[in-house]
Amino acid sequence: MLLSDVELRTEISEGRLVLDPPPSEMAIQSASIDLSFHNVFWRPRHGLKGYTVVPSQADPYKFMDREQRDEVELAPGDLILGETAEAISLPPHLAAWIEGKSGLARHGLLVHLTAPHIAPGWGTPNPKRITLELVNLSGVTHRLMAGEAIAQLLVTRLSSPSRKPYSGKHLARGS
């Protein structure tokens, strides 16, 4: 069951769903929470053309440079990894998924390519930011600003709490 704005506020106010910083009233939509773009991102290194990678055996961050600034430009065809400004923690009875904002999609910007599922227990006990895969499919350069709404978090209640919540096996990148 997808949580409504009323249920989202309850989960947040009772400390079960944690967003740090907490969402503004405007960020809580009818059945989602707007998430904003953080000022940390990773861009593929130059000179990798022709390099072959086995994705299941390679750390993608090994081929990327970390940058930190308040705006980033994506030229047509560019890929970057970004993060949500909000760090999130889900209890065992909630799961979530992340979707891009439709206004950005209409400009040809893919905000989250795949793996939108956020498992129960994510960021517990220490809230974590969500990695975003951003690609510019349009013919123009896009400038993204830290703090602007970039994605939305949809939260669902499980029929019973998970017995196998997220175990934190993803590599920590730090911020």
CA-based torsion, 53, 54, 58, 64: positive or negative: positive
pLDDT in tens, 107-138: 999 998 888 999 999 999 999 999 999 999 99
DSSP label at 14?
T
pLDDT of residue 48: 66
58 in any annotated domain: no
Burial class (CB in 10 A: 0-12, 13-18, 19+), 103: exposed
* This model's pTM is above 0.85: yes
> In which band, very low, low, confident or very high, does the pLDDT at 51 lie, cut at 50, 70 and 90?
low
Min mean pLDDT across 67-71, 75-79, 169-173 is at 169-173
Structural domain that includes position 89:
5-41+63-157
- 14-48 core/surface letters (b: 16 or more CB in 10 A; e: else): eeebbbeeebeeebbeeebbbbbbbbbbbbeeeee
101 in any annotated domain: yes
70 in any annotated domain: yes
Q: From CA 20, how far away is CA 66, in angstroms rounded?
A: 22
151 in any annotated domain: yes
Domain count, the chain: 1
**CB distance 80 to 43 below 8 Å:** yes
Q: From CA 137, how far away is CA 75, in angstroms rounded?
A: 9
89 in any annotated domain: yes
119 in any annotated domain: yes
The domain spanning residue 132 has which CATH number?
Answer: 2.70.40.10
Q: From CA 111, how far away is CA 71, in angstroms rounded?
A: 15
The catalytic residue positions are 133
79 in any annotated domain: yes
168 in any annotated domain: no
